């Protein structure tokens, strides 16, 4: 009689309270697909979780694209995004979202007057 037993490890993940819906930038790949997750690893026997490998779990900023994980305590920019936080920690500059850029023109990268496409709106484009 041959019995085969399988042992392994499974990690249960959920969003950390206060960071629900927060999406931030991944420091590894640069994409804006990182979320704050709490990970709880378990030892499994025959695919059944038996023994927790960590009682408190780990709070990490985890990228959904490259699966890079970084501890939340090393990301003060993400900690400032927590719901109910009272502003950013000192020393972290935030982006300026006020009015038009200095000089009164369109924002950088928007081309010149008329959209920068070289033709007027509602006029067919000419090639050649």
> At 78, which helix (H) or strand (E)?
helix 76-79
Mean pLDDT of 91-105: 57
Contacts 24+ apart (CB under 8 A), 106-109: none
pTM for this prediction: 0.58
Residue percentage of the chain with pLDDT more than 90: 24
Looking up tokens 């006029």 gives 123
Q: Which two tokens stand for residue 52?
A: 């927790």
Mean pLDDT of 64-77: 90
pLDDT class of 91 with cuts at 50, 70, 90: low
pLDDT class of 2 with cuts at 50, 70, 90: confident
| pLDDT (0 to 100) of residue 3 | 82
């Amino acid at each position: 009689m041959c019995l085969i037993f399988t042992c392994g490890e499974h990690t249960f993940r959920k969003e950390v309270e206060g960071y629900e819906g927060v999406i931030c930038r991944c420091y590894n790949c640069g994409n804006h697909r990182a979320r704050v997750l709490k990970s709880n690893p378990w030892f499994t026997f025959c695919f059944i979780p038996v023994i927790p490998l960590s009682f408190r779990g780990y709070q990490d900023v985890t990228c959904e694209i490259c699966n890079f994980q970084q501890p939340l305590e090393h990301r003060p920019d993400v900690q400032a995004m927590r719901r109910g936080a009272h502003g950013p920690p000192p020393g972290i500059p935030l982006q300026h979202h006020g009015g038009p850029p200095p000089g009164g023109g369109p924002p950088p990268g928007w081309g010149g007057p008329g959209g920068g496409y070289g033709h007027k709106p509602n006029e067919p484009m000419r090639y050649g």
